């Protein structure tokens, strides 16, 4: 609740600094046709995210195939949950795992597919952010010393976690079980029984990374493509608003503000606007930041409505199935 209040305050401050007249004038430049084009582009990018998950799931679960459109909708629902709750970008995985279970996928296969998918997502994002920061450091005219140190520390933290994930998985040390043992959670009776399940999932992931190099490379390419799409989305939004960004400006504005989603604030409310305002200010870009982010949020709203509609429809199907099962039992 505290972080939500902080987010609302930040959101109000951004509006106050921008001004309603400026917001209205900037929105008029962004036509409905431009928004539809952006939406279609984003749906295409979402399809790439789903394709990556589909490839991973097919590898782990070959008993029955979950249709692509259902995976697409499952991911939409996960996106909605991530956006509407202070989940720090981890709320979608339990939802996706639940939907896969309802589709007949074994729990361990569902968990493995979602974890591997998430790691690919973080790997590509961290790689691109690191590349952007490296370019800015070489340029020497974008960030100040303190900002460089802060961004560097964040990159080292997340980069270290990604490195440890791959190293611990390939060497069969176990990424999750290593923390399980480090925190001595295996000594707590109530949760000690989860360790075997965690180790089983880790063994599945180790097999995937060490025995299927070609598939691994394909998934990395897909992951990098999704980040490129994000950069293109940011470039187009600014372009439609009458501002032409360079590749580096588009790249940094698409990646670095993404760290605001790590904060436990629903939809990174206020934090996303503030981080974009900061990065555009540092880059020397004159743009109505509130409208820029508002357009992206309107796009996200469409995704959220689709995800919630799917969740609602799925719930109705479950109730109907439960009633039919009871009728058969009687």
Spatial neighbors of 118 by CB under 8 A, at least 6 apart, are 93
CA-nearest of 223, 113, 208, 218 to 169 is: 208
Sign of CA dihedral 317, 66, 198, 155: negative
Whether the CB-CB separation of 204 and 108 falls below 8 Å is answered with yes
Q: Around Cβ 317, how many Cβ atoms within 10 Å?
A: 11
Whether the CB-CB separation of 116 and 210 falls below 8 Å is answered with no
Find the length of the chain: 330
Whether the CB-CB separation of 282 and 148 falls below 8 Å is answered with no
**What is the model's pLDDT at position 74?**
92
pLDDT in single tens digits along all 330 residues of the chain: 444 454 455 555 555 555 555 556 656 667 788 889 999 999 999 999 999 999 988 887 666 688 999 999 999 988 888 877 765 556 678 888 889 988 888 888 888 888 888 888 877 877 777 776 666 666 665 656 666 677 677 777 777 887 888 888 888 888 878 877 777 776 777 777 777 777 877 887 787 777 778 888 898 899 889 888 989 999 999 988 888 998 888 888 887 776 666 666 665 666 777 778 888 888 888 888 888 888 888 888 899 889 888 888 766 565 445 445 545 555
Tokens of 266: 């629903």
**What is the model's pLDDT at position 7?**
47
Whether the CB-CB separation of 314 and 321 falls below 8 Å is answered with no
For the whole model, what pTM was predicted? 0.77
Alpha-carbon distance 151 to 147, whole Å?
Answer: 6
Runs of H (alpha helix) within the chain:
2-18, 20-29, 32-60, 68-84, 92-102, 107-139, 145-170, 175-182, 189-192, 194-211, 213-240, 247-255, 271-283, 289-329
**What is the model's pLDDT at position 319?**
47
**What is the model's pLDDT at position 187?**
73
Domain boundaries of the chain, sorted by first residue: 2-329
Alpha-carbon distance 193 to 305, whole Å?
Answer: 38
Spatial neighbors of 224 by CB under 8 A, at least 6 apart, are 124, 127, 128
Alpha-carbon distance 82 to 142, whole Å?
Answer: 31
Q: Around Cβ 266, how many Cβ atoms within 10 Å?
A: 17
What does residue 173 show for φ and ψ, rounded to 5 degrees? -80, -35
């Amino acid at each position: 609740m505290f972080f939500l209040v902080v987010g609302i305050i930040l959101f109000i401050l951004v509006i106050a600094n921008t001004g309603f007249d400026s917001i209205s004038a900037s929105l008029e430049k962004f036509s409905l046709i431009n928004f539809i084009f952006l939406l279609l582009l984003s749906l295409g990018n979402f399809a790439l995210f789903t394709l990556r998950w589909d490839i991973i799931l097919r590898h782990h679960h070959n008993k029955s195939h979950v249709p692509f459109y259902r995976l697409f909708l499952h991911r939409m629902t996960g996106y909605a949950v991530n956006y509407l709750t202070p989940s720090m970008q981890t709320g979608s995985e339990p939802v996706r795992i639940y939907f896969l279970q309802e589709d007949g996928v074994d729990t361990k296969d569902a968990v493995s597919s979602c974890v591997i998918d998430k790691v690919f997502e973080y790997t590509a994002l961290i790689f691109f952010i690191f590349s952007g920061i490296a370019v800015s450091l070489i340029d020497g005219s974008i960030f100040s010393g303190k900002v460089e140190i802060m961004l560097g520390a964040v990159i080292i933290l997340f980069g270290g976690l990604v490195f440890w994930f791959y190293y611990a998985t390939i060497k069969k040390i176990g990424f999750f079980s290593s923390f399980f043992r480090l925190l001595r959670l295996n000594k707590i009776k109530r949760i000690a029984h989860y360790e075997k399940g965690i180790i089983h999932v880790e063994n599945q992931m180790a097999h995937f990374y060490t025995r299927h190099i070609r598939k691994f490379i394909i998934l990395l390419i897909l992951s990098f493509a999704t980040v490129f799409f994000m950069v293109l989305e940011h470039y187009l939004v600014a372009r439609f608003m009458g501002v032409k960004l360079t590749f580096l400006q588009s790249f940094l504005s698409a990646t670095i503000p993404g760290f605001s989603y790590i904060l436990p604030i629903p939809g990174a409310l206020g934090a996303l606007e503030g981080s974009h305002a900061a990065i555009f200010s540092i880059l020397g870009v004159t743009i109505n930041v509130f409208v820029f982010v508002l357009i992206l949020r309107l796009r996200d709203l469409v995704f959220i409505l689709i995800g919630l509609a799917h969740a609602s429809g799925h719930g109705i199907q479950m109730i109907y199935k439960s009633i039919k099962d009871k009728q058969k039992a009687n």
